[in-house]
């Protein structure tokens, strides 16, 4: 994995950071220049180069050590950040952003840029296009989002004539020479100053603003870009009950009032190389030009009887008059400050953006002041009936502060006094693992809200409509963003007119942040295909059909090989899997917390089982030494529960509670080829299962199987049991089996959803390629169950999340991996309670015997965590601390949560006859 580049001061350089570097001018003088970091490709020597976008649209490259982060403008209210000096420390949330711009005008002839203004607020300028894709706009009492934009382009030809190409941002025009073209620009975007060309038919069909069409006019300069029409998706209203939304298509965008840009999901932010105009006339250069033009017009009126100037002079004057007032300004520098609310409750205002860094992940254990939380209960009481639901705490508390080191949260709860019958506020310090965000209060800093009109009766609806029609279209006093949540009753909202006020929850409505992809899907044929490239980037992941990218695959090397002697295709696939191939959203994290902790092994198969696993033998028997060593490490695994003479594989009658029991559509009709393949799979399972995996097949339903895996020591899954139901569809082995995890509604791993979905490339529920995917020739049920245990139930499940492999070794990764492990172990314990209370059919004795034997080890592990502070996943099979754990300690919040569950474990283990 390539580490993130660092600047001259050791600070991490993130995409879209503004960096400063030294250049040498023509006279030999050294000066400072600035550029937007867009790429950081490594060189052959390992040095990182920073590719920067400069104000004039060109790119330059400098070594990372030769640049310094100067500003970060890619920040928004609601963005979580950390101190640049301690990126692995506590995080905060941005509540306000202020960016000042330095503006210049570029000389189209290649001269030095001219400074127009410095320290300009972003509220004073607008992009070249009045409206852009994703912008929020207001019309009367309705708030909408722009989902399609039609752009008209005025083209000025060399002879001074000009025409307007409607919807020029399509395929009608092409850029011959761009004035400024940044990496964040959309394709087919045009800016004043661009040199463009088009077919003669395009200009023939255009509206001519000056002169007329000639076949020879096929290339010109963009003089003006104007929004011709927009398609708006109306999302909220001041009073939706009595006010119908405006038409979706708005032919006159000037009738709409801009509220705010689309935000980070569309990568739109003010940065170096952005082109803009003042929203109101301010540029003194433009004013001077206007005065000069007026004087020229007066002089021309006085001299209208004189002889006309020569044609060449007229053409130059036409070009100057048509274009002088149209060239946009360019952002040459940004200075951004932010207001930050830190997790410990401290507020800072006017923080220089270069002193903070964005955090990419907000975990379930991250809480911020003002968030609404509820108590989390993951399992029912021991004496609850089989049909009892898990109780939830109906109280809603407000977070006051969060200690990221201790994983504790101070929460304010409203309680009723028994004596005064009045509500009292009680502050309680709780474990983060005992809390969850309230599903009824999902709002956060920066979220958009609209003020609700007071409820009206039907007879007054007409009066309200009349009042709405009289509302100023420019009125933005009813739409705003959340800036503070810390009051238990009120929310602070900054409205579009610049005012801030406190509101009650019932006085506002929250605008749901929907992706443009979702909006496009709902609007259907309204939206043209030309914006599909934006929609595809915005497409959300589905829980049951998850597509993965291949970017993370460059971080690890996946090579398949033989282990001992001659190994068949099936075992080769298994070894490829266990050697680190990407078969899950995040690759198997084979590393421990310390390179010296080689004793921590991942769940694996025994070497002798590997040798006998396939009935088909290959002639390829080479085995590199390092792969043999890796296989040997994987083979070192605790023995399972075979001491109870519970067969690893058996064929019995189908259980009543199998997930796929009623899935008759997938039940096989018993074709001979299918039956033969199933029997072969059974034979492999009967002879080759490792000691920690048990499988049951069913003679009356050959399409069904049930598997259980024992969690390995050295992981947060140690001593746990994990059940999976499988079904072989009629198309098997052309298609992989269906697999469902017995989750009890809990999330024990990023790849195991509460719904039971198992996210694995081998099952075609996650993207992959080549050997990562199911192969009818070489894949098998044995490979499926071993892959789940070896690649899902791992030591560091945090990195199994899609794309998180890039965080390995980073401060952010180190900050989040331990809380994730601690939470995973707590979920593992709650899963034990569920299994003891309601074991899967056919495995009742197995579950009881397992916890009778391992129950005391579970309690011994809890004691080690509580008394010695051992980190989760650093205990061996006897629940003894490994050497690696001496430099680490579990959190206080974990101990609080663990202490509350231990009595229930003792009661449950005692109830089944375990010695505790």
pTM: 0.78
The per-residue pLDDT of the chain, averaged, comes to: 79
Residue 488 pLDDT: 80
Model confidence at 122: pLDDT above 70: yes
pLDDT digits (tens, 9 = 90+) for 624-672: 333 333 343 334 344 455 556 789 999 999 999 999 999 876 665 568 8
Query: Which residue's structure tokens are 């010109």?
Result: 220
395: closest CA among 378, 411, 375?
375
| Chain centroid to CA 497 | 31
Residues 6+ apart with CB under 8 A from 284: none
What domain range is 12 assigned to?
A: 1-71
Q: Are residues 136 and 285 in the same domain?
A: yes
Q: Are residues 65 and 157 in the same domain?
A: no
509: closest CA among 239, 233, 140?
239
Residue 456 sits at φ, ψ, to 5 deg, of -125, 155
Model confidence at 902: pLDDT above 70: yes
Answer with the residue of higher pLDDT: 837 or 225: 837
> Which of 278, 306, 332 is at the close of a domain?
332
In this structure, are residues 581 and 636 in contact, taking their beta carbons and an 8 Å threshold? no
Residues across the chain: 916
pLDDT digits (tens, 9 = 90+) for 149-171: 888 999 999 888 999 998 866 67
pLDDT digits (tens, 9 = 90+) for 560-569: 333 223 323 4
Residue 695 pLDDT: 97
Between vectors from CA 804 to CA 799 and to CA 805, what angle results, nearest 5°?
Answer: 70
Model confidence at 606: pLDDT above 60: no
Model confidence at 909: pLDDT above 80: yes
Burial 616-648 (b: 16+ CB within 10 A, else e): eeeeeeebeeebeebbebbbebbebbeeeebeb
Q: Are residues 125 and 66 in the same domain?
A: no
Model confidence at 717: pLDDT above 50: yes
DSSP state of 188: T
Output the domain CATH number for residue 34: 2.30.30.1060
Q: Are residues 3 and 143 in the same domain?
A: no
Answer with the residue of higher pLDDT: 554 or 797: 797
pLDDT digits (tens, 9 = 90+) for 398-442: 999 999 999 999 999 987 655 555 677 889 999 999 999 998 898
Residue 423: inside a domain: no
What percent of the chain has a predicted confidence (pLDDT) above 70? Answer: 72
Residue 523: inside a domain: no
pLDDT average, residue stretch 754-771:
89
pLDDT digits (tens, 9 = 90+) for 56-99: 888 899 999 999 999 999 999 999 999 999 999 999 999 999 99
Rounded Cα distance, 88 and 357, in Å: 10
pLDDT average, residue stretch 31-40:
88
Residue 512 pLDDT: 87
Q: Are residues 43 and 160 in the same domain?
A: no
pLDDT digits (tens, 9 = 90+) for 349-395: 999 999 999 997 778 889 999 999 999 888 776 555 554 445 556 78
Answer with the residue of higher pLDDT: 626 or 841: 841
pLDDT tier at 716, thresholds 50, 70, 90? very high
User: What is the three-class DSSP state of 679?
Assistant: helix
Q: Are residues 66 and 120 in the same domain?
A: no
Q: Are residues 797 and 905 in the same domain?
A: yes
Q: Are residues 746 and 617 in the same domain?
A: yes
pLDDT average, residue stretch 279-292:
53
Q: Is 862 a catalytic residue?
A: no
Between vectors from CA 567 to CA 563 and to CA 568, what angle results, nearest 5°?
Answer: 140
> Which of 71, 89, 106 is at the close of a domain?
71
Residue 668 pLDDT: 57
First to last CA, the chain: 45
Answer with the residue of higher pLDDT: 542 or 696: 696
Pick the catalytic residue from 759, 821, 862, 890. Answer: 759
Residue 900 pLDDT: 94
Residue 379 pLDDT: 73
pLDDT digits (tens, 9 = 90+) for 48-58: 889 999 988 88
Residue 360 pLDDT: 78
Rounded Cα distance, 531 and 517, in Å: 10
Residue 523 pLDDT: 81
Residue 85: inside a domain: no
Residue 331 pLDDT: 94
Rounded Cα distance, 149 and 40, in Å: 33
Q: Are residues 138 and 49 in the same domain?
A: no
Residue 408: inside a domain: no
> Which of 53, 71, 89 is at the close of a domain?
71
Residues 6+ apart with CB under 8 A from 398: 370, 371, 372, 373, 411, 412, 485, 486, 488
User: How many structural domains does the chain have?
Assistant: 3
Answer with the residue of higher pLDDT: 156 or 534: 156
Residue 603: inside a domain: yes
Q: Are residues 56 and 119 in the same domain?
A: no
Model confidence at 763: pLDDT above 50: yes
Q: Are residues 720 and 853 in the same domain?
A: yes
Q: Are residues 65 and 139 in the same domain?
A: no
Cα separations in angstroms, 758 against 115, 720, 743, 804, 826: 58, 18, 10, 18, 20
Residue 179 pLDDT: 60
pLDDT average, residue stretch 10-18:
92
In this structure, are residues 406 and 432 in contact, taking their beta carbons and an 8 Å threshold? no
Residue 475: inside a domain: no
Model confidence at 849: pLDDT above 80: yes
Output the domain CATH number for residue 777: 3.10.110.10
pLDDT digits (tens, 9 = 90+) for 97-110: 999 999 998 876 66
Residue 283: inside a domain: yes
Given CA atoms 385, 390, 396, 398 in this order, what sign does their dihedral have? positive
pLDDT digits (tens, 9 = 90+) for 235-254: 998 876 667 889 999 999 88
Residue 466: inside a domain: no
Residue 70 pLDDT: 96
């Amino acid at each position: 994995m390539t580490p993130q580049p660092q600047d001259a001061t050791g600070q991490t350089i993130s995409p879209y950071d503004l960096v400063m570097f030294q250049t040498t001018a023509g006279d030999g003088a050294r000066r400072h220049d600035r550029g937007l970091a867009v790429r950081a490709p490594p060189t052959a020597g390992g040095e990182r180069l920073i590719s920067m976008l400069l104000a004039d649209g060109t790119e330059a490259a400098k070594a990372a050590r030769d640049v310094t982060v100067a500003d970060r403008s890619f920040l928004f209210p609601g963005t979580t950040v950390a101190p640049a000096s301690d990126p692995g420390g506590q995080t905060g949330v941005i509540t306000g952003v202020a960016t000042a711009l330095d503006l210049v005008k570029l000389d189209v002839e290649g001269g030095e840029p001219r400074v127009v203004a410095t320290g300009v607020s972003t509220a004073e300028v607008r992009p070249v296009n009045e409206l852009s894709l994703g912008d929020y706009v207001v019309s009367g009492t309705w708030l909408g989002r722009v989902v399609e934009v039609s752009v008209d382009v005025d083209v000025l030809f060399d002879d001074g004539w000009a025409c307007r190409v409607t919807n020029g941002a399509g395929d009608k025009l092409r850029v011959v020479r761009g004035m400024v073209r940044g990496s964040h620009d959309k394709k087919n975007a045009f800016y004043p100053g661009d040199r463009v060309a088009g077919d003669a038919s395009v200009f023939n069909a255009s509206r001519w603003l000056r002169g007329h069409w000639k076949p020879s006019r096929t290339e010109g300069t963009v003089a003006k870009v104007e929004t011709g029409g927009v398609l708006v998706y109306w999302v909220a209203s001041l009073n939706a009950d009595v006010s119908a939304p405006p038409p979706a298509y708005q032919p006159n965008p000037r009738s709409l009032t801009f509220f705010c840009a689309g935000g980070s999901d569309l990568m739109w932010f003010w940065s170096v190389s952005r082109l803009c105009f003042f929203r109101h006339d301010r540029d003194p250069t433009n004013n001077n030009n206007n005065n000069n033009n007026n004087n020229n017009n007066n002089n021309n009126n006085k001299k209208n009887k004189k002889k006309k100037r020569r044609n060449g002079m007229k053409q130059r004057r036409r070009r100057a008059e048509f274009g002088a007032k149209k060239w946009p300004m360019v952002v040459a520098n940004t200075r951004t400050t932010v207001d930050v609310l830190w997790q410990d409750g401290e507020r800072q205002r006017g923080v220089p953006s270069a002193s903070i860094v964005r955090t990419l992940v907000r975990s379930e254990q991250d809480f911020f002041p003002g968030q609404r939380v509820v108590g989390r209960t993951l399992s029912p009481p021991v004496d609850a009936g089989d049909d009892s639901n898990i109780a939830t705490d109906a109280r809603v508390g407000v977070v006051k502060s969060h200690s990221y080191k201790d994983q504790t949260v101070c929460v304010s709860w409203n309680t009723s006094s028994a004596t005064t019958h009045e509500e009292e506020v009680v502050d309680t310090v709780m474990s983060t693992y005992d809390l969850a965000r309230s599903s009824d209060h999902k709002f956060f800093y920066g979220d958009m809200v609209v003020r609700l009109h007071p409820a009206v009766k039907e007879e007054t609806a007409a009066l309200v409509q009349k009042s709405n029609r009289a509302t100023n279209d420019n009125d933005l006093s009813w739409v705003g963003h959340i800036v503070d949540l810390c009051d238990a009753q009120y929310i602070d909202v900054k409205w579009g007119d610049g005012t801030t006020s406190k509101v009650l929850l019932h006085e506002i409505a929250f605008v749901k942040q929907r992706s443009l992809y979702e909006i496009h899907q709902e609007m259907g044929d309204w939206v043209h295909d030309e914006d599909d490239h934006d929609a595809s980037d915005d497409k959300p992941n589905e829980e049951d059909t998850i597509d993965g990218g291949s970017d993370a695959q460059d971080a690890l090397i996946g090579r398949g090989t033989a282990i001992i002697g001659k190994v068949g295709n099936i075992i080769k696939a298994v070894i490829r899997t266990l050697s680190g191939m990407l078969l899950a959203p995040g690759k198997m994290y084979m590393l421990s917390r310390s390179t010296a902790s080689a004793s921590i092994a991942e769940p694996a198969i025994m070497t002798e089982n590997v040798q006998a696993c396939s009935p088909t033998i290959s002639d390829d028997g080479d085995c590199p030494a390092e792969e043999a060593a890796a296989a040997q490490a994987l083979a070192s695994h605790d023995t399972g529960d075979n001491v109870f003479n519970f067969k690893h594989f058996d064929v019995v009658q189908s259980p009543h509670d199998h997930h796929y029991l009623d899935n008759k559509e997938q039940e096989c009709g018993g074709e001979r080829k299918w039956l033969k393949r199933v029997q072969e799979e059974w034979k492999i399972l009967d002879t080759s299962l490792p000691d920690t995996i048990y499988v049951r097949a069913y003679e009356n339903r050959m399409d069904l199987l049930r598997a259980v895996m024992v969690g390995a020591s050295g992981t947060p899954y140690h001593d746990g049991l994990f059940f999976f139901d499988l079904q072989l569809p009629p198309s098997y082995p052309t298609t992989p089996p269906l697999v469902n995890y017995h989750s009890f509604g809990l999330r024990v791993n990023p790849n195991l959803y509460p719904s039971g979905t198992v996210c694995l490339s081998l099952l075609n529920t996650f993207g992959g390629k080549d050997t990562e995917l199911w192969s009818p020739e070489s894949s098998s049920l044995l490979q499926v169950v071993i892959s789940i245990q070896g690649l899902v139930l791992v030591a560091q499940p945090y990195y199994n999340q899609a794309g998180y492999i890039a965080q390995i070794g980073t401060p952010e990764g180190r900050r989040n991996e331990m809380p994730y492990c601690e939470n995973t172990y707590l979920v593992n314990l709650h899963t034990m309670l569920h299994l003891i209370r309601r074991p899967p059919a056919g495995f009742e004795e197995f579950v009881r015997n397992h916890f009778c034997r391992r129950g005391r080890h579970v309690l011994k592990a809890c004691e080690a965590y509580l008394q010695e502070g051992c980190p989760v996943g650093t205990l061996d099979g006897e629940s003894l601390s490994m050497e690696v754990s001496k430099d680490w300690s579990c959190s206080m919040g974990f101990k609080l949560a663990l202490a509350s569950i231990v009595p229930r474990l003792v009661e449950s283990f005692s109830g089944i006859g375990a010695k505790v």
